[in-house]
C-alpha cells in the first residue's frame, strides 16, 4: 500500500516536471523530490539528516556542489521555519532546480559550484508544515508542534524566537498560546537545536546565511534588537540593497531592506541574528511576496514570479559573497607576486649599478 502510494507520487512528479515548480507541495512530495534530485544528480547532490523534530521526523538538507580536493566554503539556506509560509519551501525547491539546471552552462554558477557547497533545508519545521497541510483550520499554523508546559494547553513554540541570540528580550511572548512564544528557554526546541549544532560545526566555512520567510517583501539584516548593531552593518545594507535592486529588475516588485526594528518590528532569538553573532558575516532574512493582499496564502500563480525575483536577489548576495572570498584572495596572491617580482627587479638593478660603479672605480 505504502509502496504503491509512493510510486504514485513519483510518477506524478516526474511526468509533470514542467508544472512542478508552479505548485505547492506537501511534505511527502518534497521528500520524494529530494530523493529525485539526488538520483538525477548523483555527482553534485547529497543529503544529510542533521536533526529530528519534536514528533521525531528527520530534518534533512541537500548539499549541492562540485567535488573538490580543497576544503570548500559554504552557503546556508533554510526554508519553512514558519509552517504557514508555503512560498518559502517552494522557493528552496526552485533555487535547487535553478542551480542544477544552469551550473553546466552558466560559467558563474559553475565557478561558484566549484568553490562553494550549498546547504539547503527545504523544510525546517517539518511537523508544523505537515500540520499546516492537515486541513483548512490548520492552514495558518506557524510554530513547532511541541506541547506547552506548566499547565499551558496550547501547542508550539515560535522557532524563530528560540535561538540563542538575545533570547527572550524583545518582540517575543512567554505565553505558550502566543504566535511568538519563545519557548521555556533558548534552544528548548529540537529544530532550533539542530540548526545551532550544524552552524556551530560549520561556522568557519559558512560565508552567507539565508533564511526564507513570507510575507511583506523585505530583506532583513541583523540585528532584531534595536540597541545592537552588526559590525558590518554598512556592508549588509549595501549587499541587501543590491539584492533588492536585482529583485526589482525581474518583475518590478519593491523589497525594503533594513533591520527588523527599522522596517518591521523588533525581535530576538532569530536564526539570522544567531548566525551573525557566531561570526557568519552575511546573514539575511528574506520575506517574500506579497504585502498582505493574500498574505501567507499566496496563490499558486504567483509562485513562479516570486521565485524568479527572489532567485535574482539570492544570487546577488551569493555572488558578492563568493567574489569577496575568492577574488580578494586571488587579488592578494597576485599583488604579493607582483611585489616580490618588483623587489627582485629593484634589487638586481641596484646590484648591477654597484658592480658597474665598482668596475669604473677600479
Which residues would be at the binding site for Zn ion (CB under 5 A)?
82, 213
Instruction: Report yes or no: 267 and 171 within 8 Å, Cβ to Cβ.
Output: yes
The CB-of-291 to Zn ion minimum distance in angstroms stands at 15
Contact by Cβ (8 Å): 298, 215: yes
Residue 355 backbone dihedrals phi, psi, to 5 degrees: -60, -45
Q: Which is nearer to Zn ion, 31 or 214 (CB)?
A: 214
Catalytic option among 191, 287, 297, 300: 287
Minimal distance, residue 145 CB to Zn ion, in Å: 16
CB of 41 to Zn ion, least distance (A): 29
- Residue nearer to Zn ion on the CB measure, 33 or 296: 296
Q: State the nearest-atom distance from the C-beta of 109 to Zn ion, in Å.
A: 28
Of 99 and 221, CB closest to Zn ion: 221
Q: Please report the sign of the dihedral spanned by the C-alpha atoms of residue 79, residue 63, residue 230, residue 253.
A: negative
Minimum Å distance from CB 213 to Zn ion?
A: 3
Residue closer to Zn ion, measured from CB, 82 or 322: 82
Nearest by Cα to 59 from 193, 188, 205: 193
By DSSP bridging, strand 58-64 and strand 116-121 are antiparallel
Edge-to-edge strands of the sheet including 256-259?
Answer: 45-52, 58-64, 116-121, 73-79, 206-214, 282-288, 218-221, 256-259
**Active site (annotated) includes residue 287:** yes
Quote the CA–CA distance of 333 and 329 in Å, as a whole number. Answer: 6
- Collapsing DSSP to helix, strand or coil, 183 comes out as coil
Nearer to Zn ion, 82 or 225 (CB): 82
Helix (H, G, I), strand (E, B) or coil at 80: coil
Closer Cβ to Zn ion, 213 or 272, answer by number: 213
Q: Kindly state the helix (H) or strand (E) to which residue 211 belongs, with its residue range.
A: strand 206-214
**What own/partner pairs with CB < 8 Å and gap ≥ 24 does 139-144 have?**
139/84, 139/296, 139/297, 140/84, 140/296, 140/297, 141/83, 141/84, 142/82, 142/83, 142/84, 142/179, 143/82, 143/83, 143/179, 143/181, 144/53, 144/54, 144/189, 144/191
The CB-of-26 to Zn ion minimum distance in angstroms stands at 19
Residues serving a catalytic function are 287
Amino acid at each position: 500500500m505504502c509502496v504503491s502510494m509512493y510510486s504514485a507520487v513519483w510518477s506524478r512528479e516526474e511526468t509533470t516536471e514542467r508544472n512542478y515548480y508552479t505548485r505547492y507541495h506537501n511534505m511527502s512530495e518534497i521528500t520524494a523530490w529530494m530523493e529525485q534530485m539526488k538520483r538525477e544528480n548523483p555527482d553534485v547532490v547529497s543529503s544529510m539528516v542533521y536533526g529530528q523534530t519534536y514528533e521525531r521526523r528527520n530534518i534533512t538538507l541537500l548539499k549541492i556542489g562540485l567535488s573538490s580536493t580543497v576544503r570548500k566554503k559554504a552557503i546556508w539556506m533554510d526554508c519553512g521555519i514558519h509552517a504557514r509560509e508555503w512560498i518559502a519551501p517552494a522557493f528552496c525547491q526552485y533555487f535547487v532546480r535553478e542551480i542544477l539546471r544552469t551550473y553546466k552552462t552558466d560559467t558563474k554558477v559553475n565557478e561558484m559550484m566549484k568553490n562553494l557547497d550549498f546547504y539547503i533545508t527545504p523544510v525546517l519545521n517539518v511537523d508544523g508544515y505537515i500540520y499546516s497541510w492537515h486541513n483548512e483550520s490548520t492552514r495558518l499554523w506557524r510554530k513547532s508542534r511541541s506541547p506547552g508546559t506548566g499547565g499551558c494547553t496550547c501547542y508550539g513554540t515560535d522557532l524563530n524566537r528560540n535561538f540563542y541570540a538575545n533570547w527572550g528580550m524583545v518582540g517575543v511572548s512567554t505565553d505558550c498560546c502566543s504566535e511568538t512564544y519563545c519557548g521555556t528557554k533558548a534552544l528548548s526546541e529540537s529544530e532550533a537545536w539542530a540548526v545551532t549544532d550544524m552552524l556551530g560545526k560549520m561556522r568557519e566555512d559558512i560565508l552567507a546565511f539565508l533564511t526564507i520567510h513570507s510575507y511583506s517583501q523585505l530583506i532583513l539584516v541583523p540585528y532584531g534588537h534595536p540597541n545592537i548593531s552588526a559590525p558590518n552593518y554598512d556592508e549588509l545594507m549595501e549587499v541587501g540593497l543590491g539584492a533588492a535592486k536585482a529583485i526589482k529588475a525581474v518583475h518590478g516588485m519593491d523589497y525594503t531592506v533594513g533591520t527588523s526594528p527599522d522596517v518591521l518590528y523588533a525581535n530576538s532569538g532569530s536564526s539570522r541574528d544567531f548566525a551573525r553573532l557566531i561570526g557568519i558575516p552575511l546573514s539575511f532574512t528574506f520575506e517574500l511576496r506579497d504585502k498582505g493582499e493574500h498574505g501567507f496564502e499566496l496563490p499558486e500563480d504567483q509562485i513562479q514570479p516570486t521565485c524568479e525575483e527572489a532567485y535574482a536577489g539570492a544570487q546577488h548576495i551569493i555572488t558578492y559573497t563568493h567574489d569577496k572570498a575568492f577574488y580578494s584572495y586571488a587579488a592578494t596572491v597576485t599583488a604579493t607576486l607582483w611585489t616580490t617580482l618588483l623587489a627582485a627587479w629593484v634589487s638586481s638593478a641596484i646590484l648591477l649599478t654597484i658592480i658597474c660603479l665598482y668596475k669604473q672605480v677600479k
